[in-house]
Amino acid sequence: MGIRIYRPTSNGRRNASVNDYAELTTDSRQKSLCKRIKKAGGKNNSGKTTVRFRGGGAKRIYRIIDFKRNKDTSPAIVETVEYDPNRNCFISLVGYQDGEKRYILAPQGLTVGQKIESGAVVEPKVGNAMPLGAIPVGVEIHNIEMTAGQGGKLVRGAGLSARLMAKEGEWATVILPSGETRMIRVECRATIGGLSNPDYQNVKIGKAGRMRHMGIRPHVRGKAMNPVAHPMGGGEGRANGGRHPCSPRGVLAKGGKTRNPRKNSNKRIIRRRKTGRGQQLVL
């Protein structure tokens, strides 16, 4: 795969680049695994805006992804590698011996015709899904469950992979792409390999119009607004806000903790992704 750079025929083209999608094998989708989703435009069920600067964009059809990978009875054959407009990594259509078809997240190196399996007694090959307790230490993994049977929650972005570092008793230690070191129960499943489309991070959007196609509207600075619209608005001339950066509702934007301290999963973090002055959480 690679990045294709446009000829500089305009300012937008000069700074834009796109993925060449060399790995994709088809441009059609499995309609039985697709459904239409209604866009909310950043609004909740009451019609109030909860996420600003969202709306519009190209229509997308959602692909139903098998994050659980819980079909242990039969192997599957990879039929296609496809583009998914709802995520930045590629997906693969796999067919089982009983005729069932499912979409999975496509890891790097997965090819059409390859056989993949799920379960505790399969080989640790790329694309196979296994409990952490059955995966050898040091192997790259993705689509990791946090609760057994819930489906993969961690490491699902393009080009990402985590690494299984140790296993002790009922817990496995995993280093996530963010640098966070976390303990996860050994019965939770993960898929072998790193995810596809690693060059996604090198794509340059180039112009505002492409962001509008993604459903992202222009982001207005708070200090450029009137004081009735934002706490940092107003002032004579080019005022610099006059206070620490905050949201339109006055919530501090920098330095404040946004993570819920009462989350049960917090107890299983050995090292946070941002330690800050050498701080480390030890169990």
246 lies in some domain: no
223 lies in some domain: no
CATH number for the domain that contains residue 181: 2.40.50.140
111 lies in some domain: yes
> Is residue 105 a contact partner of residue 154, using CB atoms and an 8 Å limit?
no
242 lies in some domain: no
- 143 conformational bin, left if phi > 0, alpha if psi -120 to 50, beta if neither: left
240 lies in some domain: no
Taking only the tens place, the pLDDT of each residue in 144-203 is 999 999 999 999 999 999 999 999 999 999 999 999 999 999 999 999 999 999 999 999
Which residue type occupies 55? G
- State pTM to two decimals: 0.89
> Is residue 170 a contact partner of residue 208, using CB atoms and an 8 Å limit?
no
| Full pLDDT tens readout for the chain, 283 residues | 689 998 999 988 998 999 999 999 999 999 999 999 889 999 999 999 999 999 999 999 999 999 999 999 889 999 999 999 999 999 999 999 999 999 999 999 999 999 999 999 999 999 999 999 999 999 999 999 999 999 999 999 999 999 999 999 999 999 999 999 999 999 999 999 999 999 999 999 999 999 999 999 999 999 999 999 999 999 999 998 888 999 999 988 888 777 788 888 888 999 988 655 444 444 3
- Give the integer Cα–Cα distance in Å for 23 and 166: 33
- Give the integer Cα–Cα distance in Å for 27 and 83: 7
Strands (E), 106-262: 115-116, 129-131, 140-142, 144-145, 152-154, 162-168, 171-175, 181-185, 189-192
Tokens of 95: 């067919």
The mean predicted confidence, pLDDT, of the chain is: 92
Per DSSP, the three-state class of 31 is: helix
213 lies in some domain: no
Tokens of 257: 């903790």
253 lies in some domain: no
How many structural domains compose the chain? 1
Residue 185 belongs to what domain range? Answer: 3-200+261-271
224 lies in some domain: no
